Amino acid sequence: MTRRTPPTPGPRSLRGAPHHAGPTLAARIAHAGLVPPRSWPHLLAIGLGGHLLLSAPAHAACPGGGTEVVWYPDVDRDTWGVANGSEVVDCDSPGAAWADRDGDCDDADPDVNPGATEICNDAFPIDDDCDGTADGADAVGQLVLYEDRDGDGAGDPAVSTSACATLPGWATSPDDCDDDNGAVHPLADEVCNGLDDDCDGTIDRDPAPMPAATWFPDRDGDGSGDRSASPTVSCEQPDGMVRDGRDCDDDDPDVFPGAPEACEPGALDANCDGVVGPDDGDSDGLPACEDCDDTRADRFPGAPDAPYDGEVFDCARLDDFDADGDRHYPPAWGGEDCDDAEASIHPGADDPDGDGIDQDCDGLDGSSGAGDKACEGCQSGDAAPSVFVACLTIVGLRRRRTHR
């Protein structure tokens, strides 16, 4: 009798059982729902007489010791394979494009596998570590974001989160000192308003050069400051300084913009416009002696004008920030005039008792204080008529009670 030597076992594919069991064995197992595809390497399928017999384990002993290993296709060669039904079982690796572990979620990218570190991938999120989440909470390189409730680009340092990209309603800057006011942030200009606009820790200090904070020396006291002098920036009016800085001779109180001017040829340029006497420098039909600014045709007596825009057009006022011409500025422009529409109301004005009007802007009615409590809230001529009448009524009642 001739004895035949059995063949040496080689790599076995896990796509199905030996050929006599049929090429669709794997499909039949999956279709029957008996075992999930990832469990196939751990089962041995043998076809007997058209029937299937499943048993475990499927790994045979290796000649050098140990048992066979399941090898997974590893196209990107990052040592992590893909369980796609092409696995093989063998004692030795089939080659460099095989790995003994699976779980790779992108086998075309060697930087993506379960052992990779999740990082922030800018505009194209990637699930680097194959945990099912791209640019997740464990990603390296996240931005620290701060809640920006007022939408001014600077966030609240007390409320933060992390993310790989900026988020609506959040900012990368934590320097907002008032995140409920969109006008307050580190890049804002400091203005005169009682707030720390630029979040530098100071209020109304070093405000931006603007009409509300620029003052010129007025040595001659004519209400117009020296135009050749450097202005001072301050939220409060400094002593001896005014807002208007157009005086061409600040040592002569009769020379200032808008001053009356003689109409004779060669007369003094009293209004500082550079044109004198009967000449009409701006061709507006008015000679220089009747025009407050004969260099501009849009400036003349009766021209349309509005206060607080930095320009005087109608020749009725010396300073555009003093609407009533009483040489006192309203609080919004650094002064203490409580009614800038009425020239008789300003700090230092006469304040009769009991008329319901605070003429001297001290918050009280009358210079003697007789009507103070009766007219709390009626501090200026801007009070509503109904409030004014009510104040007078209260004053009258108190006086009647006094005379009983």
Q: What is the pLDDT of residue 32?
A: 41
Are 275 and 386 contained in the same domain? no
Within this chain, do residues 384 and 402 fall inside the same structural domain, yes or no?
Answer: yes
CA distance 178 to 199: 8
- When pLDDT is averaged across residues 215-235 and rounded to a whole number, the result is 93
Q: Is residue 126 part of a domain?
A: no
Q: In the structure, what pLDDT confidence band is assigned to residue 44 with cuts at 50, 70 and 90?
A: very low
pTM, 2 dp: 0.48
Q: How many domains does the chain have?
A: 3
Q: Between these two residues, 388 and 189, which has the higher pLDDT value?
A: 189
Same domain, 311 and 368: no
Q: What mean pLDDT value characterizes the chain?
A: 78
Q: What is the pLDDT of residues 75-111, one digit of tens each?
A: 999 999 999 999 999 999 999 999 999 999 999 999 9
| Average pLDDT of span 175-200 | 93
Q: Answer with the one of 89, 110, 131 that is the final residue of a domain.
A: 110
State whether 310 and 367 are in the same domain: no
Is 332 found in the same domain as 218? yes
Long-range contacts: 152-156, Cβ < 8 Å, 24+?
152/176, 152/182, 152/183, 152/184, 152/185, 152/188, 153/185, 153/187, 154/179, 154/185, 154/186, 154/187, 154/199, 155/179
Average pLDDT over every residue of 377-401: 38
User: Rounded distance, CA 322 to CA 346, Å?
Assistant: 11
Quickly state the pLDDT bin for 377 (edges 50, 70, 90): very low
Burial class (CB in 10 A: 0-12, 13-18, 19+), 314: middle
pLDDT tens profile 157-173: 999 999 999 999 999 99
User: 15 lies in which domain range?
Assistant: 6-110
User: 220 and 296: one domain?
Assistant: yes
Q: Band of the pLDDT at 65, cuts 50, 70, 90?
A: confident
Instruction: Let me know if residue 55 belongs to a domain.
Output: yes
Q: Is residue 152 part of a domain?
A: no
Q: Is residue 332 part of a domain?
A: yes
Residues 333, 351 within the same domain? no
Q: Which of 337, 360, 378 is the last residue of a domain?
A: 337
User: Sign (positive/negative) of CA torsion 90, 92, 98, 101?
Assistant: positive
The answer on 325 and 363 residing in a single domain is no
Average pLDDT, stretch 212-235?
Answer: 91
322 and 349 in a single domain? The answer is no
Structure tokens at 14: 């896990």
Please name the residue that has the structure tokens 């309603």: 169
HSE-CB at 174 with a 13 A cutoff on CA atoms is 10
Q: Is there a domain that residue 42 lies in? A: yes
pLDDT for the residue 288: 84
Select from 311, 337, 363 the last residue of a domain: 337
Instruction: Tell me whether strands 88-90 and 143-147 are parallel, antiparallel or unpaired.
Output: unpaired
Residue 54's pLDDT is what?
36
Q: 397 burial class (0-12, 13-18, 19+ CB within 10 angstroms)?
A: exposed
Q: Which of 23, 32, 30, 59 has its CA nearest to residue 43?
A: 59
Q: Tokens 């990107």 sit at which residue? A: 76
On whether residue 389 sits in a domain, the answer given is yes
| Predicted pLDDT at 211 | 64
Residues paired with residue 45 on neighbouring β-strands, in sequence order = 54
d(CA 175, CA 152): 11
Rounded CA separation 14/68 (Å): 12
Q: Which residue has the tokens 């751990």?
A: 42
Checking 152-161 for CB contacts under 8 A at 24+ apart, the result is 152/176, 152/182, 152/183, 152/184, 152/185, 152/188, 153/185, 153/187, 154/179, 154/185, 154/186, 154/187, 154/199, 155/179
Co-location of 279 and 252 in the same domain: yes
Does 170 fall in a domain?
no
- Between 187 and 288, where is the model more confident? 187
Cβ-contact 292, 306 below 8 angstroms: no
- Whether residue 384 is found in the same domain as residue 332: no
**Which of 89-103, 215-229, 254-268 shows the lowest per-residue confidence on average (mean pLDDT)?**
254-268
Looking at residue 293, its pLDDT comes to 83
